[in-house]
Amino acid sequence: PVRFIGNRSSGKQGYAIAAALAQAGADVTLVSGPVALPAPDGVRVVRVETAEQMLAACEAALPVDIAVCAAAVSDYAPYRIEKNKIKKDRNKTPQFIDLKENPDVLQRLSTPGAARPSLVVGFAAETEDLLDNAAAKRLKKGCDWLLANDVGSENIFGADENHVYLVTDSGIVEWERAGKRDVAERLVREICDFMNEEHHDRSDRNRPDAA
């Protein structure tokens, strides 16, 4: 209950995206891990603590039009959860921790099927070979878009700005460094454009042929 394995993440970007989507008129469910952030206005928040809980909450929210997976979910978790704090004992050999692989939330939501969202957006935080790794991750996970950012030594987790690249099947577009709110608003504009195109395409397919 005290010591844990996780990934560094403030949650600021995900919360900013949820807020921007709500302001654009979307019905938003925010599945959130433990963060020190207030809930965005007009957003339904589901709080979770494990990858299994996050996946279950995301699947319970389906069907949705759009899934944005911004959470930094740990790839691994301990097999056994202790009931009490693990105490340090200098007279004993350090404990070994057996790990299991966590479910891959992004990959599961990207899996083709009737419940798959029309648009699945993932995130990649990389320390090297940013664009190559991001492009490979998008293909491996099966998501439609991926926002990639460099978290190397000159970039700090929890900062209020982000420098990202949008990776899609059409290519890679660099976005200028901006505040996380600005990044969120730009992503929402891109999402709105995509959904409008989807709506028009669907309308064209359903239009009867001219006599």
CATH number for the domain spanning 166: value is: 3.40.50.10300
Q: What's the whole-model pTM score?
A: 0.88
138-148: per-residue pLDDT in tens? 999 999 999 99
Q: Report the first-to-last Cα separation within the chain, whole angstroms.
A: 69
**For 152-159, what is the mean pLDDT?**
66
6 part of a folded domain:
no
Q: What is the rounded distance in angstroms from the CA atom of residue 73 to the CA atom of residue 53?
A: 11
23-53: per-residue pLDDT in tens? 999 999 999 999 999 999 999 999 999 999 9
Q: What total number of domains does the chain contain?
A: 1
- The residues, ordered by sequence, that sit 6+ positions from 181 with a Cβ below 8 Å of its Cβ are 16, 19, 20
98-130: per-residue pLDDT in tens? 999 999 999 999 999 999 999 999 999 999 999
179 part of a folded domain:
yes
Domain that residue 29 falls in = 12-206
Task: Render 21-41 in DSSP notation, one character per residue.
Answer: HHHTT--EEEEE-S-S-PPPT
122 part of a folded domain:
yes
109 part of a folded domain:
yes
The overall average pLDDT reported for the chain is 91
Query: Which pLDDT belongs to residue 210?
Result: 46
- Supply 143's token pair: 């998501």
7 part of a folded domain:
no
Q: What is the rounded distance in angstroms from the CA atom of residue 122 to the CA atom of residue 102?
A: 17
**For 53-62, what is the mean pLDDT?**
98
Known catalytic residues are 7
4 part of a folded domain:
no
201 part of a folded domain:
yes
211 part of a folded domain:
no
